[in-house]
Structure 1
Amino acid sequence: MSKHLLTLPRLRVQNANCISSPMTWGFPAITAFTGFMVALQRRLMQKAGEANALAASLRFESVGVVCHRFEPQVTTGGYTRSFALTRNPVLQDGGTAAIVEEGRAHLDISLVFTVHTAQGYVSDEDAQAAAEAVAAEVAGMRLAGGSIMPTLQKLRAPQRTPRMEVLKAEPEDQLKQFKQLRRRLLPGFALVTRDDVLQQRLQTLQAEHAAQATTTSASAAPTLLDAWLDLSRINHRAQSDEATGQVTWKQDARPGWLVPMPVGFATLSSYETGTVANARDANTPFRFVESVYSIGQWVSPHRLEIAEAFMWKPEYDPELGLYRCVNGYRAPDDKAPSAEADMAAERGDSENDTSSSNPNQLDFD
């Protein structure tokens, strides 16, 4: 089997679900994109013999997400924002229907899939035909509950044309290939995991707690939840100058554009097939689950070296009952750039463009 990179650039999604979990809102959960990948493969398999034979034989492994534009449908006045809700039709008796709060957002994204084909050699013409067949199938699907709209024709052809290319075998060739791909993904930001930052913050909080325990009354030791909440907010701390007596407020340094995010689900209880009334599928065992959380980071594609760095794939651990999306990003040894530096560098590059079970996660309602 040969391995390919399938790129669907500049997808416009209207009214996508932006309530990603019980505790977060904003960009849709990464499980929405891995679920979209599975649904796409199933639809292609069902149309084997009707559509492009190569497209129907594709086996999807992982998906990378690059966001070019995010427009949440919220109110803009005041400090506190609320979702812009739609008015439902009146009831039969003329009464007002109840309003169900739902968060919606418009997206402009690019998707990059890692796919496998049974064919040993695929010509450029066949690969392009397969990419266009997949794009045609995607046009009739929903992504994160939103509708996929036609690509804007004002974009240049390289920015709006789907592509499928063989993933090079040699690391040097892969680097050169990905450099061309990431330039086509600019301007934008890719979502990656930062489990290491979550673990580092936990160690910092535990060290601060141990130092304070010697001078103050004992309190509960920090947990992963405390570290996750600490990274989910902007902290301002007061620092006093003993010489002048002046107090200044400083913001905690961050290693980039960090965001709290759901990464999967953890099993609460399991039931045999057919034992739960009104289940969607009577042939599949039923499970109640809760969300699993971690920390993610938005990184400009030009800072990534390989495609696997922003690829997500679902994994399942039957012993732990854990459904989790994993990502292969590894932070560089040097200090990670700030979000402002990322955006500044991204603008410069875009102007010159010519073409498993993890201890660093949270599971709770």
Structure 2
Amino acid sequence: MTQTRLPRINALLHLPHLRVQNANAISGPHSWGHPGPTAFTGLMTALRRKLGPELELDMIGVGIINHHYQAQTNGDYTQRFNLSRNPLNKDGSTAAIVEEGRIHLELSLVIGLALGETLASASQPTLDQLANTIQQCLHSLRVAGGSILPGHGRWQPRLTHLPENTEDQQHQFRQLRRWLMPGYALVARDDLLPPQPPSGEAADSSRLDAWLDQCRLNHYPVADEQGQVSWQHSRQQGHGWIVPLPVGYGALSPLYPAGSVAHCRDETTPVRFVESLYGLGEWLSPHRLTDYRQLLWYPSHDASSGVYRCHNDYPATRPTAPAILGELA
């Protein structure tokens, strides 16, 4: 699959401090916690369809910033989801418990837009009105299955044109970073995995082993010169908050015509069976980002391989040294 890059955008929409209740905390078959980027690219697609085709804009990518979360779990060492038996069966008896992970979130979303000619030359009051319209439409949708609660009145959405000059873009993004803190932005870190080996080699499992090492705590003994043994773990301080991340889906079957597969939710759309694709992500403070391209997640589709996945350009554009707090000025 060829390397993709973020398509061209000319505006940024900031939706600040969305309070989400009971979002889906089971992000994939091998991990649980915060919803993955596919939940938010799907939200972006649903929002664009809800707005209607008469609005001259395209939603290209979405940035995910978490300000607060509260997983609905209990337990000291082993965490268990808070589950309920509802609704009741027809005879009034309690139904079997189906594991359903939930999490409360406070999020900010940054959506990259490609505006049409009319909106590209619109005034800032017109863009502010459009931003309020988009946020009102967003409140009628669900975020990763969770309901959006009314937010604080002092947090207002903001839609701004993206300057063409690179220096002006960086200045605009530095101002945006202030509104995103305190919080953590989700970026891709597939660069921590070893390169894809050539086909036919026996090293195909090396990337899986590396991914598994990043997804768990490996404890091992270390002996000093005096023979004293101390236990250390694989996640040392300073390596970042690395997480396993479901980033898309891979096809398991051919694409079946619409209506040919029984019991599908949508009888008018072609369907195929897929499995989850995993990568690595990192939660980091927005002040360490230097460009909007490092923040946005965008979807892609490769028809030849049947891969549907989300991409983020942070590994390709990350600076050699992290941004310093002085750049916030």
- For normalisation by structure 1, the TM-score amounts to 0.80
Return the match for 2:257 from 264, 267, 272: 272
Distance 1:112 1:17 in 2: 20
Return the match for 2:233 from 231, 244, 251: 251
Note the C-alpha offset of 1:220.
Answer: 8.5
Return the match for 2:34 from 19, 24, 27: 27
Distance 1:2 1:276 in 2: 38
Note the C-alpha offset of 1:9.
Answer: 0.3
Q: 1:220 to 1:190 in 2, by over 3 A?
A: closer
Q: Which runs of structure 2 are paired with 1:267-346 in the superposition (5 Å)?
A: 267-270=251-254, 271-330=256-315, 331-334=318-321
Helix, strand or coil for the counterpart of 2:294? helix
- For normalisation by structure 2, the TM-score amounts to 0.88
Name 2:192's counterpart in structure 1.
197
Aligned sequence identity (%): 46
Runs of 5+ unmatched residues, structure 1: 49-55, 204-218, 354-365
Name 2:132's counterpart in structure 1.
132
Q: 1:2 to 1:197 in 2, by over 3 A?
A: closer
Distance 2:203 2:129 in 1: 60
Q: 1:112 to 1:220 in 2, by over 3 A?
A: closer
Note the C-alpha offset of 1:222.
Answer: 4.8
Distance 1:89 1:8 in 2: 34
Helix, strand or coil for the counterpart of 1:128? helix
Name 1:361's counterpart in structure 2.
none
Name 1:57's counterpart in structure 2.
56
Q: Which runs of structure 2 are paired with 1:19-168 in the superposition (5 Å)?
A: 19-45=26-52, 48=54, 56-75=55-74, 77-118=75-116, 119=118, 120-153=120-153, 157=154, 160-168=155-163
Distance 2:45 2:217 in 1: 36
Q: 1:320 to 1:220 in 2, by over 3 A?
A: closer
Name 2:214's counterpart in structure 1.
231
Q: Deviations over 1:276-328 (max 9, x none)?
A: 11222333222000000000000110110011101000000001100010001
Helix, strand or coil for the counterpart of 1:233? coil
Q: 1:2 to 1:16 in 2, by over 3 A?
A: closer
Q: Which runs of structure 2 are paired with 1:157-196 in the superposition (5 Å)?
A: 157=154, 160-196=155-191
Q: 1:117 to 1:332 in 2, by over 3 A?
A: closer
Q: Deviations over 1:117-149 (max 9, x none)?
A: 212411011000000110111111111000001
Q: Deviations over 1:101-126 (max 9, x none)?
A: 10000000000011122124110110
Distance 1:117 1:90 in 2: 49
Task: Return the letter of the residue paired with 1:234.
Answer: L
Asked if structure 1 preserves the Cα contact closer than 8 Å seen for 2:65 and 2:183, the reply is: yes
Note the C-alpha offset of 1:221.
Answer: 8.0
Q: Deviations over 1:148-177 (max 9, x none)?
A: 011124xxx3xx110000001111101100
Helix, strand or coil for the counterpart of 2:62? strand
Q: Deviations over 1:225-253 (max 9, x none)?
A: 11111001122221112x31111122333
Q: Deviations over 1:170-205 (max 9, x none)?
A: 1110110000000011000000000111227x99xx
Helix, strand or coil for the counterpart of 2:52? helix
Give aligned pairs, total: 311
Note the C-alpha offset of 1:275.
Answer: 2.1
Higher-Rg structure is 1
Distance 2:9 2:41 in 1: 21
Distance 2:308 2:132 in 1: 32
Asked if structure 2 preserves the Cα contact closer than 8 Å seen for 1:2 and 1:121, the reply is: no
Q: Deviations over 1:23-75 (max 9, x none)?
A: 110000110100000000001016x4xxxxxxx22211110010000110000
Distance 1:2 1:238 in 2: 51
Asked if structure 1 preserves the Cα contact closer than 8 Å seen for 2:248 and 2:278, the reply is: yes
